[in-house]
Amino acid sequence: MLATLVIGLREGLEAALIVGMIAAFLRRNGVSLKPMWLGVGAAVALSAVVGIILEVVSAALPQQQQEAMETVIGAVAVVIVTFMIVWMSKNSRSMKSTLEAHADSALKGGSVVALAGMAFLAVLREGVETAVFMVAAFQSSLSPLAAGTGAVLGLAIATAIGFLLFRGAIKLNLAKFFKATGVFLVFVAAGLVMKSLRTAHEAGWVNVGQDTTISLGWLAPNGSARAAILTGVFGIPGDPRVVEVLGWALYLVPMLAFILWPRTWRPAVAAVPRLQFVSAGALGIAAAVLIIAAPLAIPAAPLGESSTPAITSTPGAGVSLRVTTGGNTALAASSGSGTTASAKTLIVTGANGAESSYPLSAHGTESHAGRTASVYSATATPENRQEPASLTVAALTELNGGRMPVGISPSSNPGPFTAAWTHKGQVTVWLVNDSIIDAVNSQSATLTLSGGGLASARTIAVSGEDGWHVPEEHVSAAVTELNSFESASAENVLWSRYLPAAFIVAALTLVAAGRRNRRQLLVTAPSP
């Protein structure tokens, strides 16, 4: 409520001051105010329509698209409030004379439409700014009803103050008012930066810098008034992420410096270009340091295609696994279309150092151990296995887990039986970015018995004893290590690419501004 109240108060007062200045000028010149009110009314109505459309469209979208829409609205709102603060700081002193000059031009042209259009455009800018900023504030608010109440109260108070100023009933130090509300709105806008970065991640746009920094539950417990102020007013979540804190600080610090920096401390006009060039150089150096130093913080990959596996422990004593890549094969995508990828082979190293190779075939992806993994399999029938060609009743009972198979009786089928064996085996491997997170070797056999008193051949299934699987605790350790590696890699991208890119853009902007200011100084410099 407090955020929308201040937004409505500040933006409403700006619009009221504009309308009041135009009205006072027209009154001094004996001109009817009706054209001005027509323009003002049209601008207010259009601004309201813009806000309603943005809110309705955003609410009607699916969840992910809704998050994307909120991100765009929040980013636009941040740009608007930044422009508003900077513009008001630079043009507040000349705003009255500029408006009067435009009104005078409209009067000299004798056009009512021109006068109404001037009022329309002057108020429309403030109205659209208010609409976009309000929508963003509504989306960040914990209570839409409270946010709406604050907006209405802010606009009502602004209208009343504007009317009293126009009538000369009160005096208001506008410089201090806009400075104080500007500081507050900078904090609100910084919160919108955090909110926009959060919704951008939920929309799938920003996936770097997602490690949590600090839990603010101790400062603002859920449901408390402090939580409502921290989250609902200033937009700071209880679990800010790295990229959110970074965006918050990069916006808040320079904007507060711009507003609060004392005029007596500001450099002379002639020194501004030099200061801008020095600041640009410092940002460039900072970007270079980050580009060089940030990659040093990333850990080694947990598993390369040809390296010894570091994240999967042995499925059995002295047994290890690795996947090698070579050649090309067609992988079947989930949609049914084929894509070209490298053929993979599973290498199983036994306790005696002997290696077994299993060419893998792809079977798409599935969720496994909390990750979306690529599934591969291979036939793994035991080689050179010597099985008995004949089984006694006792051997058959032992093979079947201590009891005779159903349908075979020792009294009527005393044996021995002729045994024909058929072995089947399959190795299944789950990979995430070519890292093994799990593997299992499933073995089974079918036994066909004949003779020994059997009227006809009988086939029974026999459990395999040569299979293996990776222990569950090792799978969890593999996923944990892989998650840590990917998180560190994402953080590295933030610090070594995105942040230096932001510094470089800021440096180039300062260089361009410095060159422009230097040219202006040369043009205005007195001739010798």
Asked if residue 131 and residue 236 are part of one domain, the reply reads yes
Evaluate the omega torsion of the peptide bond into residue 416 and state whether it is cis, within 30 degrees of 0: yes
Closest CA to 242 of 213, 221, 214: 213
pLDDT of residue 424: 81
pLDDT of residue 263: 77
Asked if residue 464 and residue 493 are part of one domain, the reply reads no
Here the tokens at position 153 are: 């109260």
Asked if residue 454 and residue 512 are part of one domain, the reply reads no
Asked if residue 523 and residue 425 are part of one domain, the reply reads no
Q: Output DSSP code: residue 527.
A: P
- pLDDT band with cut points at 50, 70 and 90 for residue 367: very high
Asked if residue 133 and residue 22 are part of one domain, the reply reads yes
Q: Which of 341-350, 399-408, 480-489, 517-526 comes out lowest in average pLDDT?
A: 341-350
Report whether pLDDT(450) > 80. yes
Q: Is 185 contained in some domain? A: yes
Asked if residue 244 and residue 171 are part of one domain, the reply reads yes
- Which whole number is the average pLDDT over 141-151? 76
Asked if residue 250 and residue 226 are part of one domain, the reply reads yes
For residue 466, what is the enclosing H or E element?
A: none
Q: Which of 36-45, 315-324, 348-357, 464-473 comes out lowest in average pLDDT?
A: 315-324
- Which whole number is the average pLDDT over 308-315? 36
The rounded Cα 495 to chain-centroid distance in angstroms is 15
Q: Which residues contact 130 (CB under 8 A, 6 or more apart)?
A: 7, 8, 11, 12, 15, 47, 51
pLDDT of residue 253: 93
> 3-state DSSP helix/strand/coil percent for the chain, to nearest 5?
55, 15, 25
Q: Is 476 contained in some domain? A: no
Average pLDDT, the chain: 79
Q: Is 311 contained in some domain? A: no
Asked if residue 373 and residue 454 are part of one domain, the reply reads yes
Give the pTM. 0.66
Q: Is 375 contained in some domain? A: yes
Question: What is the 3 state secondary structure string of 403-451?
Answer: CCCCCCCCCCCCCCEEEEEEEEEEEEEEEECCEEEEEEEEEEEEEEEEC
pLDDT of residue 500: 93
Q: How many domains does the chain have?
A: 3
Report how far residue 376's alpha carbon sits from residue 440's, in angstroms, rounded to the nearest whole number.
11
Q: Is 210 contained in some domain? A: yes
Give the residue carrying structure tokens 């403030």.
126
Structural domain that includes position 6: 2-266
pLDDT tens figures, 211-231: 888 888 888 777 677 777 787
pLDDT tens figures, 162-198: 788 777 667 777 678 778 888 888 898 898 899 999 9
Q: Is 313 contained in some domain? A: no
Q: Is 479 contained in some domain? A: no
Asked if residue 277 and residue 253 are part of one domain, the reply reads no
pLDDT of residue 102: 67
Report whether pLDDT(509) > 80. yes
| Domain end marker among 470, 496, 514 | 470
Report how far residue 378's alpha carbon sits from residue 429's, in angstroms, rounded to the nearest whole number.
9
Q: What angle do CA 197, 202, 205 make, to 5 degrees?
A: 65
- pLDDT band with cut points at 50, 70 and 90 for residue 308: very low
Please give the backbone phi and psi of residue 459, each rounded to the nearest 5 degrees, phi first: -115, 130
Asked if residue 275 and residue 130 are part of one domain, the reply reads no
- Which whole number is the average pLDDT over 449-475? 80
User: Do 11 and 126 form a contact (C-beta atoms < 8 A)?
Assistant: yes
Asked if residue 491 and residue 445 are part of one domain, the reply reads no
Q: Which of 43-47, 138-142, 144-148, 418-422 comes out lowest in average pLDDT?
A: 138-142
Report whether pLDDT(124) > 50. yes
Asked if residue 404 and residue 353 are part of one domain, the reply reads yes
Q: Is 310 contained in some domain? A: no
- pLDDT band with cut points at 50, 70 and 90 for residue 328: very low
Q: Give me the percent of the chain exceeding a pLDDT of 70.
A: 83
Query: Exposed, middle or buried, 302 (CB in 10 Å: 0-12/13-18/19+)?
Result: buried
- pLDDT band with cut points at 50, 70 and 90 for residue 515: very high
Rounded to the nearest 10 degrees, the angle between the axes of helix 144-167 and helix 112-140 is 140
pLDDT tens figures, 59-74: 787 888 888 888 988 8
pLDDT of residue 375: 92
Report whether pLDDT(486) > 60. yes
Q: Output DSSP code: residue 287.
A: H
